[in-house]
Structure 1
Amino acid sequence: MRGNVGVSRLRVSYVDTRIHEKVRDIGLPGAFVSRLHHPEPVRDLPVTLPFEMPGRREDREDDVEWRFWSAVTGDGRLRPPASRPEADKLFQSRVPLRHQAVLTSALDTPRLEAFLHPFGWVLLATADVIWQRPVSLEEAAIALDSLQEDPAEVTLGGAQHPATLATATAKAAEALSQRLADDDPWARLPAYRLVSVIDGKIDVAPTNLMPQRNSVVHQTLHQLSCGGPVLTKPQDCFVARYDSSGYFNWDTSDLVYMLDRGAAVVLQQAVAWRPSAKAESTSGRHRRLALLLTYLSANAGLVRSKSRDGVLRDWAKDCASRLARLYGPEEAAADYWGLEARSYMCRTGAIDAIESTRGASLHEKHQSPRRYP
């Protein structure tokens, strides 16, 4: 750990997924491709393409959207489709439609998004906790556990639903299921929580050690990641990064801790040097990882649903192949993806379903570091 972390702004996101076999209006490929080509409302819900962020320029978030979906589609010239064939390519890459719902909360800048697929939806709720004077990472974790239970409200399709920040995605997902589905959802996956230190103060120390087992930092990141009473070994939860030598290695300036129910991120160098850090911004990294979680959750949810429907079964096989490619990851995208996708799929148990659907085991193209420092 490079130094003590003082937190001024903490960002938290929740990801919740519902998979359905019978989706109204957009459940057939042709209907979904038509919406990608011309994003007309779905059951009176306005939709956009997910890489179009009208009116949002905070921390160049629109650029984060474009870069993420460009990486997913492999299209460095990503744009709104000018023809049906172009829209079909987006569909083949499992690019969703995006609906902006409303989340009302006492926390700062709350928002709620729904990513619509022809086989279900992923809800993403995000809000910030702000302190006028920096607090310790441990104090921030305790405060978040309390504040996420404060009253909030979800507005979707003109209807209001009482909620809390922690339950907002579940409330919105249920409302969408009632509005857009003709069947009960496949057994819901637990909501996933992502927490990042967006702003604060780090007293940089002359050390380059990763957090040690049972250390305060280890315990706090475990709590922020919704971990249980038993601490996971650091080497099993900290995510390795691609370094300049062409290998995955531990990076003390880029701490990402991932478990089965949540993840916590502390970009120590970006926090310490912000806004002069040349690397990815703290808010940009949070957004990119949140989008990755929505994409993984949707694809893994379909694969794990074991649908008996012919079309969905074919889509599940395709999704399994896509997730297998992210598992590596491919060398050209290693520095961008890191091992976050692999960690999520391993920790949430999606690997078994992916291998079963593909009929083949996954082979790691890049090995994690063998020894934890």
Structure 2
Amino acid sequence: MRNPLDPAELTAALENVHRAGMPGLFAEVRDGGQVWRGAAGVADVATGRPVTADMRHRVGSITKPFTAAAVLQQVESGQIGLDAPIRRYLPRLVPGERGDAITVRMLLNHTSGLAEYLPYAYPSLKALPALADTGPESLDDHRLTRFDPVELIAMGVGAPAVGAPGGTPGVYSNTNYLLLGELLRHVTGTSAERYITRNVIERAGLRETELPDAPHIDGPHSQIYEAWFGMIDPPRDYSVYDMSWVGPAGSLISTVRDLNRFFGMLLAGEIVSPPSLAQMQRTVPVVNQEGKTIDYGLGLHPVTAPGQGTYWGHGGTVWGAGALAMTRADGRRQMAVAVNRQRWNRLDSSGRPQPHPIDDALAAFHHVAMYG
């Protein structure tokens, strides 16, 4: 049953996240023809500049549905085989029997078995997933580093496999989506960023969304603050950052309004065809970066609540910034929210993140926004 928007309830829930310790956050919720936008807190802890709901923001892995949609467009045109081996297209990047065993679909749904490259690109993170043995030093070292995606892919391909190709549960890995970016380059003759911009971002009419090629965010935006599990205290501003470390896996800049527009059009079959959308919604179990097993499709993640239907979308984090965008399968109800602090949980004596009031407050906002 559809729940109408309650602006007072949404505003109160958003304010509660700020009071729990989030410097600033902003959101847009849609229900049919109703639209609510709200913001709470500050965009700059030094000046007290407030956040506003129209700000542009780094949205991290919400980039993945954009990249997946671009790949599915090329599947529709016959340039890519969804179940073809990646070695057919990129034999130098994934050679030998492994390249024959890993398909394009496995890259899209994280069942390739390819490891995450980040601990190798960022040496102070090499102890992942043992958080207590990591440190934030590499984040500063690489603020303006221009990474080569082929070199990052080689790190992931060369690392010990995290599973057999096609095996489940899969393991979430940005290596998969960097490979999909190189696949798009191979079949289209242009960079993944240019292809996605022309055929996904511009096709959807997203005026404030881009895959950046410079470290700055243009236009109104919040500063973004990384705490790295209490190891950076006070949290440090990482607003200026070269995003080549994650490229077509997570570099997108967008607004909450644009994110809702994109997912609304995607689920309406206006970005890819309905048969392609059905493929995107075929899920398998995948272990995410928090160690939890979730259902994951081709760049889409479902959430279902009893009596509320299924929502599709994606979340994302980068250094300092996070976002979540979810749209109900019928397109009627939508929620997109952005936050300007990340990894706020401190670690306990065993190295596990401790609960923080932000966790419950943010979950409560998600519930109100999605289900009323």
TM-score in terms of structure 1 length: 0.28
TM-score in terms of structure 2 length: 0.29
Q: Which has the higher contact order (CA 8 A, sep 6+)?
A: 2
Task: Compare the two structures and name the one with the higher strand fraction.
Answer: 1
